[in-house]
Amino acid sequence: MDLIEKLGHSLVHHGEFNNRIFLLKYDEKDRNNITDQLNKLAETNGYTKIIAKVPAAAQPVFLKDGFTQEAFIPSFYQGEQDVFFMSKFLSDERKKAPSSALDTLTDLLAQPQNNNGAVLAKEFKLTLLSPKEAPQMSELFGKVFETYPFPVTQPEYIRETMQEETVIYFGIWHNQKLVGISSAEVDPKNKNAEMTDFAVLPEYRGHRLAYFLLQKMEEYLTEQKYQTVYTIARLNSPGMNKTFINHGYRFSGVLTNNTNISGQIESMNVYYKKLMKNG
């Protein structure tokens, strides 16, 4: 599994699994040498992509080094400064856009929102999840995803993220069986959260469980005064994209050939939504 570690004062996620470096948190102290460090790390390991999530004020640092913008999220930091996803491709194969999937996305984005006053069926129960349920959660993740960018099939990893209070998990139950999961990866300081880790057992698809999980997470985060929420959704999952579109999320770009999920490197779509105005 890929590593999360410091690079200078910044934080990166990198390894052979995704065959890339993801600059998760940029530190202004690294401004003068961050791109050199990223390039060196990529060259040493033979990675074929570098992606950096950086505040607007740092974008010129990456443009100067040949990075291009793939997506953005406005009002990301404390409801004010924007964030940009800046990428550099280190192989021709890695930067090839999946044209047929992009055609499907174009069709999806042209469709109107469809909420239809949906209500979760009475036989299902939606709750916050706790560390004691980590074994059931990891088992469900393992049934849904052949591969995943983070070790969610390991109960200890799930417990660790809960204890660190960096991830809040939500679940849907049917007859005391966990059948659907999602999570909010929260940044309390900057009042933003990533809506992620959506997993529904195949036999329970068609009940719009992801839709209701997302709805519940938004309600919870609004109560906690979070301002901006976003997701990085699989381009190859039209249903998941439609869930976010139906909830009023705005599309802002495609991260081409970005993430190892369900057994292959896939492109990911960025969507965002403003929950509340600053202040």
Q: List all residues 6 or more positions away from 46 whose beta carbon is below 8 Å from its beta carbon.
A: none
Residue 213's pLDDT is what?
98
Average pLDDT over residues 58-70: 98
Residue 262's pLDDT is what?
83
Residue 278's pLDDT is what?
55
Would you call 230 helix, strand, or coil by DSSP? strand
Q: In what order do the strands lie in the sheet with 167-174?
A: 124-128, 167-174, 177-187, 192-200, 228-234, 264-274, 250-261
Residues 66 and 152 in one domain: no
Q: How many residues does the chain have?
A: 279
Short-list 267, 263, 199, CA closest to 17: 263
Residues 85 and 209 in one domain: no
Residue 115's pLDDT is what?
76
For 109, other C-beta atoms within 10 Å of its C-beta total 13
Contact 168, 107 (CB under 8 A): no
Contact 74, 244 (CB under 8 A): no
Alpha-carbon span 203 to 115, nearest angstrom:
23
Is the per-residue pLDDT at 52 higher than 90? yes
Among 33-47, 106-120, 170-184, 190-204, the minimum mean pLDDT is found in 106-120
DSSP conformation letters of 60-121: HHHHHTT-EEEEEEEEEETTTEEEEEEEEESSTTTT---HHHHHHHHHHHHSPP--TT----
Residue 113's pLDDT is what?
87
Give the predicted TM-score (pTM) of the model: 0.92
CATH number at residue 72: 3.40.630.30
Q: List all residues 6 or more positions away from 145 whose beta carbon is below 8 Å from its beta carbon.
A: 152, 153, 199, 261, 262
Q: What are phi and psi of 142, to 5 degrees?
A: -65, -30
What is the dihedral sign for C-alpha 112, 85, 200, 167? negative
Residue 147's pLDDT is what?
86
Residues 123 and 195 in one domain: yes
Q: What is the mean pLDDT of the chain?
A: 95
pLDDT in tens, 15-38: 999 999 999 999 999 999 999 999
Is the per-residue pLDDT at 277 higher than 70? no
Residue numbers of the domain that contains 10: 3-89
21, 55, 89 - which closes a domain: 89
Is the per-residue pLDDT at 90 higher than 60? yes
Is the per-residue pLDDT at 4 higher than 70? yes
Residues 83 and 109 in one domain: no
Q: Place 182 in a pLDDT band, splitting at 50, 70 and 90.
A: very high
89, 109, 126 - which closes a domain: 89
Is the per-residue pLDDT at 183 higher than 90? yes
89, 107, 126 - which closes a domain: 89
Residues 144 and 19 in one domain: no
**DSSP state at residue 172:** E
pLDDT in tens, 192-251: 999 999 999 999 999 999 999 999 999 999 999 999 999 999 999 999 999 999 999 999
The amino acid occupying position 68 is T
Percent of the residues in the chain that have a pLDDT greater than 90, as a whole number: 92
Is the per-residue pLDDT at 114 higher than 90? no
Short-list 229, 239, 220, CA closest to 274: 229
Residues 130 and 261 in one domain: yes
Residues 148 and 47 in one domain: no
Is the per-residue pLDDT at 118 higher than 90? no
Joined together, the tokens standing for residue 72 give 């953005």
Q: How many structural domains comprise the chain?
A: 2
Residues 81 and 186 in one domain: no
